[in-house]
Amino acid sequence: MSPSYNNNSIFAPWNDPKEKPLIEFKNVTKNFGSFTAIDNQSINIYEREFFSILGPSGCGKTTMMRMLGGFEIPTEGDILLDGQSITNIPPHKRPVNMMFQSYALFPHMNVEKNIAFGLKQEGMPKDQINDRVEEMINLVQLQQFAKRKPSQLSGGQRQRVALARSLAKKPKLLLLDEPLGALDKKLREETQFELMNIQESLGMTFVIVTHDQEEAMTVSSRIAVMDHGKIIQVESPADIYEKPNSRYIADFLGDVNIFEGKVASANDDAIQLEWAEGQEKLQMEASQPAKIGDSNWLAVRPEKISISKEKPIDADNILKGKIWDIGYTGNISVYHVQLPNGMTIKAQEVNRRRLANRELTWEDDVWISWRKTAGTHLVK
């Protein structure tokens, strides 16, 4: 089995119609009593993907994962693994392993025994088990801690044991439920890259559930954003950030300014948005055909907006405003610019110069501007 590449030799099997998905959700619905956790959803996940399911708490992302692990059975629909239905197969018979959010390390077994547990259940010969355990311990760099009990390990070490244990059986699919949630920020960032390296070197398929969008953006091949039991968009991190399909996605991932207005003119792929009285129309590229008079939206990320004291000459969209507030986080500053109609726009600048030399300050009259290609045209 070799990974397939498209013309640009970027890993994107979801764009290749010849590629068979490893996992298929087919019209899956899951009800808990009268509550619908998953509402008639279908997605495909391909081999070697690092697939993230992202969403606010209660959106159904954990239910999706637990159905893959076999801990929940869909009320309706079918889940296929390698073309075979696994909908009614119990967890212990699935070639799928899971890393639990709480790590779920067995407290009465040391690190080695925890890692060997799944292999023993499989009936693997003893010397092979020892080899595999050693390989896993080396992989997660816990050589000195092999004989320790989970209670004698730090949070980061426990996380590694949990990872090693779930990788030990070399499953076709590894499920990770908020794997880095319990780690502090620095350790989390390091571990993200380790996870990516491990996934790449073992050539496994990972499905990760997280509520941390930065984590999802960093590690994933594709991200599925969920809300209220529905998958809103599935895209690669860059595409989901740059080409959100709705205001929900634009707003959920990162910061965004959203202008609401009516389509004033639409020819070919250029749209003009009439958005406020006495203001110039906003220019944008159409993401899909629009009719004059339709209610549409323009989403612009703060980092794509320039801010200056002099009126810029070559921008497509130029607005005048006053600096209302400045959010300083060290490396960047976010300027909250109030427009004459009362709307506040966020514009973000990298602090290349020291604070003392900054030329923009509170109450300054400024111009904000962006090109028509910088914003995203949204219809919902």
Partner 1 sequence: MNKLSRFNITSLTLGFAFLYLPILLLILFSFNASKLVTVWGGFSTKWYVSLFQNEAFMDAAWVTIRVAAISATAATILGCFGAIVMVRGGKFYGRTLFSGMIYAPLVMPEVITGLSLLLLFVALNFDRGITTIILAHITFGMCYAAVVISSRLSTMDQSLEEAAMDLGCTPFKAFIKITAPVIAPAMVSAWLLAFTLSLDDLVIASFTSGPGATTLPMKIYSSVRLGVTPEINALSTLLIATITLGVITASWANKRAEANRIKDEQLAFAND
Interface residue list for partner 1 (CB under 8 A)? 69-71, 90-92, 96-98, 100-102, 104, 106-108, 117-118, 121-122, 145, 148-149, 151-157, 165-166, 169
Return the number of the residue (190 or 255) whose C-beta is nearest partner 1.
190
In the DSSP assignment, the letter for residue 349 is E
Q: Closest by alpha carbon to 100, among 108, 91, 109?
A: 91
User: Scanning the structure block, which residue is given the tokens 């590229």?
Assistant: 285
* Closest approach of partner 1 to the CB of residue 145, in Å: 8
* Closest approach of partner 1 to the CB of residue 308, in Å: 48
Return the number of the residue (108 or 354) whose C-beta is nearest partner 1.
108
Strand order in the sheet with 76-81: 35-45, 23-32, 76-81, 84-85
Return the number of the residue (104 or 343) whose C-beta is nearest partner 1.
104
> What span, in angstroms and rounded, lies between the C-alpha atoms of 361 and 88?
62
Q: Between 155-167 and 126-139, two packed helices, what is the crossing angle to 10 degrees?
A: 140
Tokens of 190: 């390091």
* Closest approach of partner 1 to the CB of residue 214, in Å: 23
Return the number of the residue (124 or 326) whose C-beta is nearest partner 1.
124
* Closest approach of partner 1 to the CB of residue 264, in Å: 56
Return the number of the residue (155 or 340) whose C-beta is nearest partner 1.
155
Return the number of the residue (187 or 258) whose C-beta is nearest partner 1.
187
* Closest approach of partner 1 to the CB of residue 182, in Å: 13
Q: Closest by alpha carbon to 360, among 339, 338, 333?
A: 333
Return the number of the residue (103 or 335) whose C-beta is nearest partner 1.
103
CB 199, CB 50: distance < 8 Å: yes
> What span, in angstroms and rounded, lies between the C-alpha atoms of 306 and 321?
12
* Closest approach of partner 1 to the CB of residue 44, in Å: 23
Distances (CA, A) of 39 to 31, 59, 229: 8, 11, 5
Return the number of the residue (165 or 304) whose C-beta is nearest partner 1.
165
* Closest approach of partner 1 to the CB of residue 120, in Å: 8
CB 26, CB 86: distance < 8 Å: no
Strand order in the sheet with 344-350: 306-308, 365-370, 317-328, 332-338, 344-350
Phi-psi region at 180: left, alpha or beta (left = phi > 0; alpha = psi -120 to 50): alpha
Return the number of the residue (54 or 168) whose C-beta is nearest partner 1.
168
* Closest approach of partner 1 to the CB of residue 108, in Å: 5
Angle at CA of residue 21, ends 223 and 193, nearest 5°: 40
* Closest approach of partner 1 to the CB of residue 97, in Å: 6
Q: Closest by alpha carbon to 179, among 140, 144, 143?
A: 140
* Closest approach of partner 1 to the CB of residue 29, in Å: 20
Tokens of 244: 């959100």
Return the number of the residue (48 or 158) whose C-beta is nearest partner 1.
158
Pairing of strands 173-177, 230-235: unpaired
